[in-house]
């Protein structure tokens, strides 16, 4: 009896341990919007900027706009677009925000749309979590956590993302 109990406890503990990584695949909801996979990158020493990335899905019937946010240690957060055109890196602020159409998922990622963390005081270290918010024109503001990956990390290269993807598949 005790043996069985002990075993099942162990099994439960093992299952719980397996579930821990999936806790990182947090999804945040505000109104009809879902924010998944929010992450940022470790910053080089002395760097004053960082990018915030996420997948934003609009499950509603009306378009909304990502207009800003906030992040620990950042003086200001803006919505930016980066593009390399003819070998020139160009950045611009999306003054009117980024439209998220109904039924669509927009991915903020390196080399594309991103939240621009400006005026950083201190740095982000790999493995940390940065607390912040994202703000939409209609849905309002929601608290999110940005997981800090390596300097120069690209989403698809990281094992943890594979895990998150698996997790997603399991959910469906």
The rounded distance, in Å, linking the Cα atoms of 112 and 132 is: 20
DSSP for 2-66? HHHHHHHHHHHHHHHHHHTGGGGS-EEEETTEEEEEEEEE---TT---EEEEEEEEE-SSS-EEE
- Residue 8 Cβ vs other proteins, minimum distance, rounded to whole Å: 46
- Going by the DSSP 8-state scheme, the letter that residue 114 receives in this structure is E
Is residue 39 at the binding interface for other proteins, with CB under 8 A as the rule? no
Q: Are 74 and 50 in contact (CB under 8 A)?
A: yes
Contacting residue, 6, 8, 93, 162, with other proteins by CB under 8 A = 93
* Residue listed under structure tokens 């990956």: 149
Specify the stretch interacting with other proteins by CB under 8 A; choose among 9-17, 18-26, 29-37, 41-49: 41-49
52, 74, 106 from 48: Cα distances, Å: 13, 8, 26
- Residue 118 Cβ vs other proteins, minimum distance, rounded to whole Å: 6
Closer Cβ to other proteins, 104 or 126, answer by number? 126
The rounded distance, in Å, linking the Cα atoms of 128 and 163 is: 18
Residue span 133-172 as binding mask against other proteins, x where in contact by CB under 8 A, dash where not? -----------------xxx-x------------------
Is residue 89 at the binding interface for other proteins, with CB under 8 A as the rule? yes
- Residue 142 Cβ vs other proteins, minimum distance, rounded to whole Å: 23
The rounded distance, in Å, linking the Cα atoms of 94 and 24 is: 29
Contacting residue, 45, 121, 122, 159, with other proteins by CB under 8 A = 45
Specify the stretch interacting with other proteins by CB under 8 A; choose among 29-37, 43-51, 100-108, 135-143: 43-51
Contact residues: other proteins, CB under 8 A? 41, 43-51, 76, 78, 82, 84, 87-93, 110-111, 114, 116-119, 150-152, 154
């Amino acid at each position: 009896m005790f043996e069985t109990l002990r075993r099942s406890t162990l099994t439960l503990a093992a299952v719980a341990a397996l579930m821990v990584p999936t806790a990182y695949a947090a999804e945040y909801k505000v109104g009809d919007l879902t924010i998944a996979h929010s992450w940022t990158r470790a910053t080089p020493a002395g760097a004053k900027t960082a990018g915030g990335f996420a997948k934003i899905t609009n499950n509603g019937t009306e378009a909304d706009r990502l207009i800003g946010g906030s992040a620990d240690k950042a003086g200001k957060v803006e919505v930016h677009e980066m593009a390399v055109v003819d070998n020139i890196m160009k950045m611009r602020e999306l003054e009117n925000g980024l439209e998220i159409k109904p039924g669509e998922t927009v991915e903020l990622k390196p080399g594309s749309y991103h939240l621009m963390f400006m005026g950083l005081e201190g740095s982000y270290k790999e493995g940390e979590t940065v607390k912040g918010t994202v703000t939409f024109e209609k849905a309002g503001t929601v608290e999110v956590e940005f997981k800090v990956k390596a300097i120069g990390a690209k989403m698809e290269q990281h094992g943890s993302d594979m895990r998150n993807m698996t997790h997603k598949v399991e959910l469906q």
